[in-house]
Amino acid sequence: MLNFQSEKLKDEVLLRDPVHGYIHIEDKVIFDILQSKEFQRMRRIKQLGPISYVFPGATHTRFEHNLGVYELTRRICNIFSKNYPSREPDDGLWDDSNRLLVECAGLLHDIGHGPYSHTFEHLFGTNHEKIGQQIITDPHTEINQALRQVSPNFPELVASVIAKTYPNPQVVKMISSQADADRMDYLQRDAYFTGVNYGQFDLSRVLRVIRPYQDGICFTNNGMHAVEDYIVSRYQMYQQVYFHRVGRSMEVILHHLLQRAKVVYKTGTLQVTPSLAKFLEGNWTLDDYLKLDDGVMETNFSLWLNSSDPILADLASRYLFRKPLASIRIDEDTKGLLPKLKDLIKQAGFDPTYYTDTNSAFDEPYDAYKPTGKNANSQIEIMQDDGSLIELSQLSPLVKALNGTFQGDERFFFPKTMLSQSNEPQIFDPLYEQFQRYIKNGALHYLRRPHKK
């Protein structure tokens, strides 16, 4: 019934990609999306934001990641249409008339992201998912115009795939599930650009064992270990890259910097570019949002270096010139000590509102079916020879160990000065010494014996 067709390009366009080799573009609609100004803007938004402060190679952008997800959906469609073509409705196999839809959804799944999305959303009430839907469905965007080549309701269909309301679960889960093209691309890509090889899993093998079934996408029996390895790699990337304490520290600074800018803006003394001003005013449009990127933000931070507000100027300098806060692990038990620590920090001359923070980073590496969870029913299934399905954690001791757990830590951030030491004990600053007595093996702890050390 549905049969989305696009004009084909006369010659396939190939883009070099260090992760997938080549990105293949055969359809005019894909090419036109790429050419749109909303999509080109992604070139100016780093995929990992402040994490590039920890892993200097991680300068890759959302542009490349979106292309990568598109390429993976294209390859999965190739595999499905070759090996599992649907022959009659509801046979649980792949209907390749959905190809263009899923490819566009892959390409556009992150289109609503702006610079430092997480921090920005928190402070300015933006929502990258809603904005993404708007970019796709608003008739004034170049992306919408490109999509309408296929059919008048094609933009809405693409948006529904990303919103997970499209009725075909195979299409939806190729983009959004515990083993989707999105995650497969970002894990490989982030591992490549950070240079950490524990994030790499055997993508070629995962693609070899992926298959459609009635309720979505699963994996064939001989692929259990490939999928297990992917889950473990994902866990490793979270623990070692995404949750890196210094990356989180830079994000804390960023948050406080923008928070302070809101305060200073009200005084009327803030130098700011027009696009960002709209957000500080709380009066922005989609067009303003599309004008933001990492460079615009950093240009503003650079303007703020000369601000008469010393906290703003200092935080801008800390962000631009990479002066992270220090941090220690805390837990429910030791949190009671934080007021005492903040007090010492205040005595040392730092406003705790802007120079301290607590930050939790926990990820659920895998979860089997939880009826009430937000990822309900997205568990990974392994298909047996006889067509029955077994949920992954039933087969893998590693996935079983991670299933339903939350891995990560909670940290308290504070100025590095508090850790100062001196080789001459007599001149060791008593304030700092007092502070440091609460730290052992990188964690906050109660003093057992008051004058220990």
SS3 readout for 383-414: ECCCCCEEEHHHCCHHHHHHECCCEEEEEEEE
- E strand map for 28-159: none
Q: Which two tokens stand for residue 144?
A: 């919408």
Residue 83 Cβ, how far from its own copies at the closest point, in Å?
8
Nearer to its own copies, 160 or 327 (CB): 327
> CA-to-CA distance for 345 and 284, rounded, in angstroms?
37
Q: Which is nearer to its own copies, 81 or 273 (CB)?
A: 273
Instruction: Kindly state the smallest distance separating residue 174's Cβ from its own copies, in Å.
Output: 22
Query: CB of residue 149 vs its own copies: minimum separation in angstroms?
Result: 17
For the bound state, the minimum distance from the C-beta of residue 441 to its own copies, rounded and expressed in Å, comes to 4
| Residue 3: CB minimum distance to its own copies, A | 21
Q: 97 or 220, CB closer to its own copies? A: 220
For residues 359 and 328, give the distance between their C-alpha atoms in angstroms, rounded to a whole number: 10
CA–CA separation, 71 vs 171, rounded Å? 15
C-beta closer to its own copies: residue 158 or 272: 272
| Beta carbons of 325 and 354 less than 8 angstroms apart | no
- Cβ closer to its own copies: 216 or 223? 223
Q: Residue 387: which residues within 8 A CB-CB, separation 6 or more? A: none
Query: Are the C-beta atoms of 45 and 95 separated by less than 8 Å?
Result: no
Closest CB 90 distance from its own copies, rounded Å:
24
Q: From the centroid of its chain, how far is CA 115? A: 12
- C-alpha dist (Å) from residue 409 to 279, 359, 452: 32, 8, 27
Instruction: Closer to its own copies by CB, 126 or 236: give it.
Output: 236
Q: How many CA within 13 A on the CB side of residue 225? A: 1
Secondary structure letter of residue 6 according to DSSP: -
Q: Cβ of residue 209: shortest distance to its own copies, in angstroms?
A: 10
Name which of 15 and 447 has its Cβ closer to its own copies: 15
Minimum distance, C-beta of residue 366 to its own copies, in the bound complex (Å) = 11
Q: How far is the CB of 393 from its own copies (least distance, A)?
A: 11
Are the C-beta atoms of 210 and 373 separated by less than 8 Å? no
- Alpha carbons 393 and 400: distance in angstroms, whole number: 4
Given a contact cutoff of 8 angstroms between Cβ atoms, the answer to whether 85 and 187 are in contact is no
If you compute the radius of gyration of the chain from its CA atoms, what whole number of angstroms results? 25
In the complex with its own copies, the residue whose CB is nearer, 288 or 309, is: 288
Q: How far apart are CA 287 and CA 290, in angstroms?
A: 5
Q: Kindly tell me which of 120 and 192 has the beta carbon lying closer to its own copies.
A: 192
